């Protein structure tokens, strides 16, 4: 035998294709191959060699003359064309010993198996019909479903799938579901991805692995979910009277391939229609029982079940974890059981017993479950197969032993093609070895030996998977034929087909077609730039990353938002470059300038929030004010139904501009509602009966909520700023007169994105955990606020969720602290109630949770809850664990005649609140880390004036009577305020106890601390020229300017500049050149 010389591929329609057998670096010739000889020995050895004679010779046969035709096929001049493409001629000797069977039949349902089970290069050696295959027995999956097949599941889906296709007439997928816990009758069971995608028997692709509570339920109604039925069963996935399982005379065949570890360790369901009904209605079970028997049980009939012992010795004896084919057939009279070892030497199924006694009655509705039962016994499915399941087929006839997966690959028509292969591919034996059924120029025999599809012109020897990739190239680069021409496994924007043509490595991103030699993948350039004009060092999106860098890290070179976050500050570097680049910047000097938490434009939104919202971090544009006019967009839409208003506008012609009305909480469309009298009752807000709190020595936190937008500041002794207001929350909502604005979180109630104000942005992580003090040293506390009821309290709300007031929740069970909330009629724990309940829940780290609640007063009570009413709510706890009356609840209508809070509950709280860092929120909860939870409990109304104290306050220490407005010495200072800060009533309005230059009355009006010299009324000026000073809502200031300080030189810039919460700010719109002095005066 002459050693072979490797033959080279010629050009292909797609361009030059490299010879897969050519050494690296060598050039592929573009001319046809030289004449050569093909010799086949009697021992089936085959070699190719260049003879120079212009002929291919076969030992023992006369010479034949050949040429290479335009399709690059070796063609005979005096005979039918040989079907050997030049590029597929084998690289060296191939010897097949006499009498050796060809490879097993490939799996026609599995492309990968089809590609690899046969030698993709054998076609070259046997395409001339010089070699005939040896006939053999074998096993193979069903290539297709015949008219009698209603269910056929190959389970060849990839790992991670949850739906197995049905290749038969019933057409419904089998869904992998978790059966425990049982979701309920006619309720979707949760899909899982741990059943499909396990390696099966060679030649059969993947298999299913059914253990524990998993099962495969047939989706009879095709809605993508599996719902077990009830006792009927009455469910969308029921099958009426087993109608898709049996045929004439109730005939049927149930079959599958299984691989299990034992036949004596409990029942193992294979195919089942059992359900939750009474015994007479419960379908059948086909299973391996715990006694080592194959069993068919038509439940509710007699005898109990038909069983046959499973063989434990001999050819078909059970061996753990080996594949067996199991089947039961029924022809209307006799049940036949089959147990057969899955082996290529087996030609027919092995019958192990019959039964003519079992009553087979299938006139019941049913659900079809594979690998488990469909019955709820603590969970859906209590009898898992406990192993691998494959090739499930259900037929409406009683199959014979020769009609299963086993076949005798005989050749009764002596045409060189196995009968089984002909029937599987052509349906009969009419084809011949030399025929070309799919007209792809390759004979049927060549296709059989190569493992290609004789019914697909694109599948041919050398490219059996029909993907336009040379099989040799695929095997050389990937080890198998699982890839396709259009895939890009190395993500270099060049397909496998393009890489094969270019001779580049399809597994290495750094190896790619680069016709312009610029270091960039041609495919990448074409994808992003529609041409090859880009350069490696270019930066078209200005994100300070070159094209080459963007290619390497897989970002978009045309989009500045698509870049890395090199300093891990939460900001995309390209975004920072877009807004903050200064000429001369390098990427590293740029990204050091800003951080995710910065707020360079001072609009209350961090850089990270602005990046997320797509707003400009260098202007006053923010997600709540997209037109950057200073007016909150939702405020404009509420009052004007558009965003056309401007801050300086005054559509109602009163004394306040739109901006001033927004900040004060007054109505910009009503002249009666003014910035100093928001309810338009003729009483100035500063003279209203109820006034906001000022912090005393026991005030841990005090949020006035007057900011109209985030952040909301805390004026308590342990301040926690509420940084984040989500899209459904509104801080501009008009509050009770005298309290400016408040918080409305009613939008989105019942959804996971309901309105909420939170200390930190809410997330399903520890990033929103808030360090906050919410009790005194001994555990005592008071949580309180004022609320407006915007719902009918006499009926169930829609939705009926609770309404949170102030909450310390957490995704982590051990960090859950408390909920203080109102529960409407029909809400949790109040389904039978006739009135809402005020409730405090000690969550105690999710252990020993204790709710304490009281029904709220109804009609006829002075504190009765009514729609539109304002109320003070509070909960107090004295810190004495497990003692009587240590916790009290208060609910009081805000009526000027009231002098103290109204107690509605007193009881015993068993444990102190735990010390934790919860997700701290106002107006909703922040527990959003588990399914079906989130910020669902928005308050249906307005929440305001939230105060947390480190003591249990008494009824007289709230917003009522002398506690706020009493002034027995008539000095303009409330007695309670004087007593809190001075211990007596000895101070006067004009006094200055702390000698800080601000008199006591000014300190009271501005919410300052009169016995702390650093808390005073003083203005500062920033480098940008902005003036800032302490402020509250409901007051006004006069702003003046002078350039000399001389008498009479002061020019009034603003006569009544409205105050804002915490700090007021003013920028001179036309500052004079040179030096200037400014004076800010608190108006009376």
Q: What is the mean pLDDT of residues 236-243?
A: 80
pLDDT, position 677: 93
CB 1004 within 8 A of CB 997: no
How far CA 757 is from CA of 694, 722, 760, 917, 920, in Å, comes to: 22, 7, 9, 17, 9
Positive/negative CA dihedral, 450, 455, 460, 466: negative
Who contacts 398 (Cβ-Cβ below 8 Å, separation ≥6)?
251, 252, 253, 329, 330, 331, 332, 336
Per-residue confidence band for 928, with pLDDT thresholds at 50, 70 and 90: low
* pLDDT given at position 743: 97
Q: Which fold has domain 704-961?
A: Jelly Rolls (2.60.120)
pLDDT of residue 933: 53
**pLDDT at position 121 over 80:** no
pLDDT score, position 689: 86
Q: What are phi and psi of 56, to 5 degrees?
A: -110, 120
Pair 613, 622: CB distance under 8 Å:
yes
Q: Residue 353 has what pLDDT?
A: 96
The CATH fold of domain 149-407: Jelly Rolls (2.60.120)
Token pair for 942: 């307005």
Q: Is the pLDDT of residue 57 over 60?
A: no
CA separation, residue 108 to residues 203, 399, 459 (Å)? 9, 22, 12
pLDDT reported for residue 127: 35
Tokens of 96: 């097949």
Q: If pLDDT is split at 50, 70 and 90, which confidence band does 262 have? A: very high
Q: Residue 573: pLDDT above 90? A: yes
Q: pLDDT at position 655, please?
A: 87
Q: What percent of the chain has pLDDT above 70?
A: 85
The token duo for 595 is 């951080």
pLDDT of res. 51: 29
- Give the strand pairing for 45-49 and 55-56: unpaired
Q: What per-residue confidence (pLDDT) applies to 381? A: 73
Whether the predicted pLDDT of 668 surpasses 50: yes
Asked which of 14-28, 678-692, 716-730, 853-867 is least confident by mean pLDDT, the reply is 14-28
What pLDDT score does 415 carry?
87
CA distance readout (Å), 1075 to 475, 1044, 1049, 1070:
82, 8, 13, 13
Tell me: pLDDT of 167 over 80.
Answer: yes
pLDDT score of 43 = 26
pLDDT band at 409 (very low <50, low <70, confident <90, very high): low
Which ranges constitute the DSSP H helices of 926-1036?
975-982, 1000-1005
Better-scored residue on pLDDT, 859 or 438: 438
| pLDDT: which is higher, 75 or 370 | 370
Cα–Cα distances in angstroms (integers) from residue 120 to residues 46, 296, 449, in the given order: 15, 44, 9
Residue 222 scores a pLDDT above 50 = yes
For 262, counting Cβ atoms within 10 Å of its Cβ (0-12 exposed, 13-18 middle, 19+ buried), the class is middle
Query: Chain-wide mean pLDDT for the chain?
Result: 84
d(CA 226, CA 235) in angstroms, rounded, equals: 10
User: Binning pLDDT at 50, 70 and 90, where does residue 230 land?
Assistant: low
Across the range 382-401, mean pLDDT stands at 94
Mean pLDDT of the region 331-336: 94
d(CA 396, CA 1074): 100
Whether cis (ω within 30° of 0) applies to the bond prior to 799 is yes
Listed residue (1018, 1022, 1053) closest to 1039, CA to CA: 1053
DSSP 8-state symbol, 376: B
Place 659 in a pLDDT band, splitting at 50, 70 and 90: very high
Confidence at 14, pLDDT banded by 50, 70, 90: very low
Q: Is the pLDDT higher at 125 or at 1055?
A: 1055
Is pLDDT at 58 greater than 80 in this prediction? no
Tokens 């084998």 correspond to 90
590 touches 559 (CB < 8 A): no
SS3 523: helix
Q: What is the pLDDT of residue 881?
A: 96
Q: Is the peptide bond before 303 cis (omega within 30 degrees of 0)?
A: yes
Query: How far is the C-alpha of 451 from the C-alpha of 425, rounded, in Å?
Result: 12
Across 328-332, 407-411, 543-547, 1037-1041, least confident range:
407-411
Give the mean model confidence (pLDDT) for residues 1006-1013.
90
**Predicted local confidence at residue 234, as pLDDT:** 59
Which residues share a beta bridge with 921?
758, 807
DSSP secondary structure string for all residues of 861-921: STT---TT-EEEEEEEE-S-TT-TT-EEEEEEE--TT--S--EEEEE---SPPPP---EEE
Task: Give the gyration radius of the chain's Cα atoms.
Answer: 42
Is the pLDDT reported for residue 328 higher than 50?
yes
Choose between 1024 and 258: higher pLDDT: 258
Intra-chain end-to-end CA distance of the chain, in Å: 117
Specify the pairing of strand 94-95 against strand 45-49.
antiparallel
**Could you tell me where the DSSP H helices lie in 479-619?**
496-502, 522-529, 547-553, 573-580, 587-591, 607-613
- What is residue 378's predicted lDDT score, i.e. its pLDDT? 59
pLDDT (mean) for 367-392: 86
d(CA 295, CA 35): 66
What percentage of the chain reaches a pLDDT higher than 90? 62
Give SS3 for 720: coil
pLDDT at 231: 59
In this model, does residue 1078 exceed pLDDT 70? yes
pLDDT of residue 233: 58
pLDDT at 277: 73
Please give the structure tokens belonging to residue 305: 């079940």
- Reported as a pLDDT band with limits 50, 70 and 90, residue 137 is low
Task: State the pLDDT confidence band at 423, using cuts at 50, 70 and 90.
Answer: confident
Check residue 109 and give its pLDDT: 37
| pLDDT value of position 627 | 93
- Select from 182, 178, 183 the least CA-distant residue to 195: 178
- Judge whether residue 97 has pLDDT over 60: no
Residue whose entry in the numeric block shows the structure tokens 């009969």: 428
For position 500, what pLDDT does the model report?
Answer: 95
Distance between CA atoms of residues 67 and 812, nearest Å: 77
Cα distance between residue 352 and residue 293, in whole Å: 10
* Per-residue model confidence (pLDDT) at position 241: 73
Q: Which helix (H) or strand (E) holds 176?
A: strand 174-178
Residues 681 and 670: their CA atoms lie apart, in Å, by 12
Name the more confident of 2 and 284. Answer: 284
Q: What is the pTM of this model?
A: 0.53
The average pLDDT across 182-188 equals 75
Angle at CA 732, nearest 5°, toward 729 and 736?
Answer: 110
In the numeric block, which tokens belong to residue 382? 């209590």
Q: Which tens digit of pLDDT belongs to each residue from 493-550?
A: 999 999 999 999 999 999 999 999 999 999 999 999 999 999 999 999 999 999 999 9
Beta strand 1077-1082 with 1062-1067: parallel, antiparallel or unpaired? unpaired
Token duo for residue 227: 């719902």
Instruction: Tell which residue, 281, 449, 267, has the closest CA to residue 364.
Output: 281
pLDDT tens, residue by residue, 1026-1061? 999 999 877 899 999 999 999 999 999 999 999 887
* Residue pLDDT, tens place only, 448-463: 888 889 999 999 999 9
């Amino acid at each position: 035998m002459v050693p072979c010389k490797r033959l080279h591929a010629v050009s292909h329609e797609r361009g030059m294709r490299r010879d897969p057998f050519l050494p690296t670096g060598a050039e592929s010739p573009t001319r046809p191959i030289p004449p050569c000889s093909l010799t086949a020995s009697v021992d089936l050895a085959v070699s190719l060699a260049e003879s120079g004679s212009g002929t291919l010779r076969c030992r023992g046969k006369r010479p034949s003359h050949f040429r290479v035709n335009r399709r690059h096929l070796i063609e005979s001049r005096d005979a039918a064309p040989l079907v050997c493409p030049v590029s597929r001629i084998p690289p060296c000797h191939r010897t097949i010993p006499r009498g050796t069977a060809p490879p097993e039949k490939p799996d026609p349902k599995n492309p990968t198996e089809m590609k690899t089970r046969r030698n993709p290069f054998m076609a070259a050696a046997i395409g001339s019909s010089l070699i005939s295959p040896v006939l053999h027995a074998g096993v193979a999956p069903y290539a297709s479903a015949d008219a009698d097949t209603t269910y056929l599941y190959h389970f060849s889906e990839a790992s991670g799938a949850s739906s197995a296709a049905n290749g038969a007439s019933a057409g419904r997928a089998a869904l992998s579901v978790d059966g425990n816990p049982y979701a309920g009758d006619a309720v979707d069971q949760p899909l899982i991805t741990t059943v499909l995608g396990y390696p099966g028997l060679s030649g059969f692709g993947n298999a299913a692995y059914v253990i524990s509570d998993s099962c495969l339920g047939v989706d009879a109604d095709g809605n993508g979910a599996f719902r077990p039925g009830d006792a009927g069963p009455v469910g969308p996935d029921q099958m009426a009277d087993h109608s898709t399982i049996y045929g004439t005379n109730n005939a049927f065949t149930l079959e599958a391939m299984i691989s299990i570890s034992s036949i004596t360790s409990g029942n193992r369901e294979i195919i089942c229609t059992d359900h939750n009904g009474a015994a007479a209605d419960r379908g059948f079970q086909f299973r391996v029982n715990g006694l080592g028997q194959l069993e068919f049980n038509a439940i509710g009939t007699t005898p109990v079940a038909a069983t046959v012992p499973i063989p434990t010795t001999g050819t078909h004896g059970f061996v753990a974890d080996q594949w067996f084919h199991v089947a039961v057939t029924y022809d209307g009279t006799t049940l036949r059981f089959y147990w057969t070892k899955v082996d290529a030497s087996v030609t027919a199924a092995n019958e192990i017993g019959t039964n003519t006694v079992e009553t087979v009655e299938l006139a019941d509705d049913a659900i079809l479950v594979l690998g488990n039962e469909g019955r709820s016994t603590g969970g859906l499915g209590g009898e898992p197969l406990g192993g691998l399941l494959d090739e499930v087929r259900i037929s409406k006839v009683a199959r014979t032993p020769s009609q299963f997966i086993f076949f005798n690959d005989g050749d009764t028509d002596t045409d060189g093609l196995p009968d089984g292969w002909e029937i599987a591919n052509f349906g009969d034996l009419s084809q011949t070895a030399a025929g070309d059924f799919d007209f792809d120029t390759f004979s049927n025999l060549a296709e059989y030996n190569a493992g290609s599809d004789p019914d697909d012109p694109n599948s041919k020897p050398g490219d059996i998977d029909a993907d336009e990739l040379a099989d040799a190239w695929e095997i050389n680069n990937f080890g198998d034929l699982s890839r396709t021409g259009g895939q890009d496994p190395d993500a270099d924007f060049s397909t496998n087909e393009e890489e094969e043509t270019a001779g580049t490595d399809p597994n290495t991103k750094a190896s790619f077609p680069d016709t312009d030699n610029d270091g960039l993948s041609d495919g990448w350039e074409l994808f992003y730039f529609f041409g090859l004009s880009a350069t490696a060092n270019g930066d078209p999106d200005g994100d300070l990353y070159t094209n080459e860098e963007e290619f390497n890290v897989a970002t978009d070179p045309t989009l500045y938002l698509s870049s890395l976050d090199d300093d891990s500050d939460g900001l995309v570097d390209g975004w920072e470059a877009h807004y903050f680049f200064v000429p001369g910047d390098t990427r590293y000097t740029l990204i050091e300038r800003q951080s995710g938490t910065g707020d360079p434009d001072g609009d209350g939104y961090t850089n990270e929030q602005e990046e997320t919202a797509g707003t400009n971090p260098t202007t006053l544009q923010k997600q709540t004010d997209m037109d950057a006019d200073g007016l909150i967009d939702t405020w404009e839409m509420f009052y004007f139904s558009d965003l056309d208003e401007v801050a300086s506008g005054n559509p109602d012609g009163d004394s306040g501009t739109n901006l001033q009305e927004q900040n004060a909480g007054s109505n910009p469309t009503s002249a009666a509602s003014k910035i100093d009298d928001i309810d338009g009752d003729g009483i100035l807000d500063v003279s209203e009966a109820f006034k906001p709190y000022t912090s005393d020595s026991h005030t841990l936190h005090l949020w006035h909520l007057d900011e109209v937008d985030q952040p909301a500041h805390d004026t308590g002794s342990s301040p926690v700023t509420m940084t984040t207001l989500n899209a459904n929350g509104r801080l501009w909502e008009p509050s009770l007169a005298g309290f400016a604005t408040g918080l409305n979180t009613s939008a989105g109630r019942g959804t996971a994105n309901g309105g909420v104000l939170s200390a930190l942005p809410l997330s399903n992580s520890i990033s929103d955990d808030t360090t906050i003090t919410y009790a005194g040293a001994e555990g005592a506390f008071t949580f309180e606020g004022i609320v407006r009821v915007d719902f009918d309290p006499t009926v169930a709300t829609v939705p009926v969720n609770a309404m949170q007031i102030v909450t310390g929740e957490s995704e982590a069970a051990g960090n859950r602290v408390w909920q203080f909330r109102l529960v409407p009629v029909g809400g949790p724990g109040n389904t039978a109630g006739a009135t809402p309940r005020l409730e405090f829940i000690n969550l105690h780290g999710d252990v020993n949770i204790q709710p304490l609640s009281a029904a709220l007063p109804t009609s006829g009570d002075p504190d009765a809850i009514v729609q539109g009413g304002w109320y003070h709510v509070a909960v107090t706890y004295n810190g004495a664990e497990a003692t009587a009356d240590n916790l009290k609840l208060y609910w009081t209508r805000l009526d000027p005649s009231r002098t103290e809070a109204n107690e509605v509950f007193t009881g015993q709280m068993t444990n102190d609140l735990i010390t934790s860092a919860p997700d701290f929120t106002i107006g909703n909860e922040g527990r959003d880390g588990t399914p079906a939870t989130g910020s669902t409990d928005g308050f249906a109304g307005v929440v305001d004036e939230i105060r947390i104290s480190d003591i249990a306050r008494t009824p007289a220490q709230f917003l009522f009577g002398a506690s706020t407005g009493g002034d027995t010495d008539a000095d303009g200072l409330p007695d309670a305020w004087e007593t809190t800060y001075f211990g007596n009533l000895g101070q006067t309005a004009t006094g200055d106890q702390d000698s800080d230059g601000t008199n006591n009355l000014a300190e009271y009006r501005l919410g300052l601390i009169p016995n702390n010299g650093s808390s005073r009324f003083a203005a500062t000026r920033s480098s940008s020229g902005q003036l800032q000073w302490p402020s509250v809502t409901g007051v006004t200031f006069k702003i003046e300017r002078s350039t000399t300080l001389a008498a009479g030189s002061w020019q009034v810039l603003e006569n009544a500049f409205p105050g804002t919460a915490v700090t007021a700010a003013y920028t001179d719109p036309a500052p004079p050149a040179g030096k200037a002095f400014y004076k800010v005066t608190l108006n009376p």
